[in-house]
Amino acid sequence: MRPPPHILVVNGTKVRRPVFVLGAPHSGVNLLARALKRSPGFHMTMGRPGMASVVRTFARRPSIMRSKGGGSVRVLRDAMADAWQLVAGACRECAADCREAGAVTGSGPCASPGVVTRFGDAEPDLLYSAPVLIQAFPDARLIQLIRDGRDVAADMIADRASMDWARPGMISDETEFPNPFLGVNSGAHLPKWARMDPAGKCALRWRSAVRLSAALRKEMPRDQLLTVRYEDLVSAPEHTVTSVSAFLETRVSAVALYGATPPATGGWRGRLTADEVALVEKVAREELTRLGYIATPKGSLRR
């Protein structure tokens, strides 16, 4: 007999249909999470230390998620429950993006337990924990962000903090392959990866992330997963938020999007060198083409 589903209660509220925002680094996850966080009834967290530690461990050692006994499911669920606690001082542990999105200025929580009806998380590396996430929260709603890999590479290269993962010293004897987090399929490829230009490493990571997103698209029911283009989120925020609201069956505010200053689309043209563009397109051409960011041999001009 199938065991009954786990019922998680946080701040006296049952967690039902939690919302998780997934995507490669600099794909707009924080931007959409900002809109959700400022919507009535939502408590959205981003980059809480406990959650970050768990999902990064899963990302670097995928075999942990495949272990028997459900340990990884319990660990992820407990970490999420801890992240969602609304107590005095809790927001001090949050990342700067999360505090800004919640307009936190004092020591109090960013939301009131009495009005929260929907929980969610947008931890930057949550995409790599998707298999466990779905087991932990079978009724979850996932929103995945897709953005031009060349813009992603340009933003990643400019963000020193986000490039820590690309240092050869981050590789250890415990690193597993294939490794979606690095975008490297075999340990035999590590020497080449270590010598690769940062633009190439970013392209590998973006390529791996969109492949994971494509796999989720095939596995998840349509009523549980929505794919959003970053370019649409920036150019047509009202239309995009309307689609998100319909998907989540609740009102999502677009006001927060207008108060943000997201990176422009197509900025890679003035930020990447010709060699960097060529390398990113060489590494991720298949995915860039499939997603319509570069032309097929008989197609139209690049976006």
Kindly report the CATH number assigned to the domain that includes residue 138: 3.40.50.300
Establish if 4 belongs to a structural domain: no
Distance CA 126, CA 238 (A): 26
Q: What does the angle CA 150 – CA 154 – CA 155 come to, to the nearest 5 degrees?
A: 120
Question: pLDDT, tens digit, for every residue of 62-94?
Answer: 888 887 768 999 999 999 999 999 887 777 778
pLDDT at residue 273, rounded to an integer: 98
pLDDT at residue 103, rounded to an integer: 75
Establish if 296 belongs to a structural domain: no
Residue 170 has pLDDT above 80, yes or no: no
Work out the average pLDDT over 195-204: 96
Secondary structure element (H or E) that encloses residue 294, with its range: none
The most confident of 39-53, 154-168, 196-210, 284-298, by mean pLDDT? 196-210
Question: What sign does the CA torsion over 144, 148, 149, 151 have?
Answer: negative
Q: What's the number of domains the chain is made of?
A: 1
DSSP 65: G
Residue 15 has pLDDT above 50, yes or no: yes
Establish if 301 belongs to a structural domain: no
* pTM for the structure as a whole: 0.91
Domain that holds residue 272: 10-290
Establish if 2 belongs to a structural domain: no
Residue 6 has pLDDT above 70, yes or no: no
Establish if 5 belongs to a structural domain: no
Distance CA 104, CA 78 (A): 24
> Which of these ranges, 49-53, 102-106, 145-149, 234-238, has the smallest mean pLDDT?
102-106
Contact at 8 Å (CB) between 13 and 111?
no
- Residue bearing tokens 């009102």: 251
Establish if 113 belongs to a structural domain: yes
Who's near 283: CB < 8 A, 6+ residues apart?
200, 203, 204, 207
Distance CA 302, CA 293 (A): 6
Closest CA to 101 of 73, 121, 129: 121
Query: pLDDT grade, residue 143 (50/70/90)?
Result: very high
Establish if 66 belongs to a structural domain: yes
Q: Specify whether the backbone of 37 is left (phi greater than 0), alpha (psi in -120 to 50) or beta.
A: alpha
Residues in the chain: 303
pLDDT at residue 109, rounded to an integer: 76
Radius of gyration of the chain (CA): 19
Establish if 300 belongs to a structural domain: no
Tokens of 52: 């970050």
